[in-house]
Structures are given as C-alpha cells and as structure tokens.
Amino acid sequence: MKRHFVMAAGLAVMSAVFALSGCGGNGSAGPATQLWYDQYLPPAVGQVHLDTCQDLFGMITTPEKAASKFQEAMEKYNAEKE
C-alpha cells in the first residue's frame, strides 16, 4: 500500500513540474493552472499534499519523508473515517 502513495506523490510532483514548465494544454500559457489532485483528496490530506510538494520544491525534505507524511495523513484520515 505504501508504494501506491509514493507513486501518487511522485505523479503529483511530476504534474506540478509539467504545469509550471508551461507544457501541455492548447499551446497558450494561461495566467494560472489548476491541478485536480489536491481537490480530489480530503481537506486534511490535501493540505499535507500541498505542504509536502512545497517542501520538495524548496528542497527542505526528501521524497521519502514527503511520502511518509502523506502516508500518515491518509492512514489517520481512514482511521477516523471508520
């Protein structure tokens, strides 16, 4: 299960890099890009996703630590949901 969250975190980072580089879309660079992944997550987990992505881009955390934080947040959410 942990592997899936690591993959999801990696995909989210790749999506952000793709969007920030101006690639994709219809060829015109718009003033903003809305990524869907953080909107799909429960609010508390989505905030951890946003925070860890910022930490990754700021180079103040490692992908492994970011994935671990994301995993913990999702497990906590799932435990509270039951």
The domain containing residue 68 runs over which residues?
Answer: 2-17+38-81
Q: What per-residue confidence (pLDDT) applies to 73?
A: 95
In terms of Cα–Cα distance, which of 9, 4, 1 is closest to 64?
9
Q: What per-residue confidence (pLDDT) applies to 40?
A: 82
Q: What per-residue confidence (pLDDT) applies to 81?
A: 84
Instruction: Establish if 25 belongs to a structural domain.
Output: no
Q: What per-residue confidence (pLDDT) applies to 59?
A: 93
- What domain count does the chain have? 1
Instruction: Establish if 31 belongs to a structural domain.
Output: no
Spans of the chain below 70 pLDDT: 1-30, 32-35
pTM comes to 0.55
